[in-house]
Amino acid sequence: MAERRYQVFVYGTLLTGEDNHDVVAPYVRAVCPGKVNGRLYSVGPYPALVLGEEGEVEGEWLTVTEEGLKAMDELEDYAEGRDDNEYERIWVRDAHQPIEGYVYVYLPEKAAGLPIISSGSWRRREEKT
């Protein structure tokens, strides 16, 4: 039986070489750079993406196994159908490539007042309030 695979856009600590990449690394089957439309905010030690806002956010599309998706859900404290998730896992399309998959996002009201990462890149972050 073939293993199920999922495309997930990551933009912060799950990026290759970042602090939490080891959580998903055993389950990654492919990595592709990408961008999605939205704005990146700083929550301190990690970022939050709000979709539908002006700008582009740089990241990577990870192709992961079902176990990898579960590991990311656990890290992001996400449970389907729960009302108090910190992040929501939704479907998104890449801004420039024919790639789509899941991404963990913040709701706009939760990001209100957080510093904006104006570069759109966690790796090149400079915050402005």
CB 126 within 8 A of CB 51: no
76 is known as an active-site residue: yes
Q: Provide the 10 A C-beta neighbour count for residue 84.
A: 6
The token duo for 124 is: 């090149």
Tokens in use for 4? 């199920």
Whose CA is closest to 55, among 44, 42, 68, 39? 39
What are the backbone dihedrals phi and psi of residue 78, each rounded to the nearest 5 degrees, phi first? Answer: -110, 135
Check if the beta carbon of residue 39 is closer than 8 Å to that of residue 116. yes
How far is it, in rounded angstroms, from Cα 122 to Cα 102? Answer: 18
Candidate list 66, 67, 74, 76, residue with the active-site label: 76
Provide the annotated active-site residues: 76
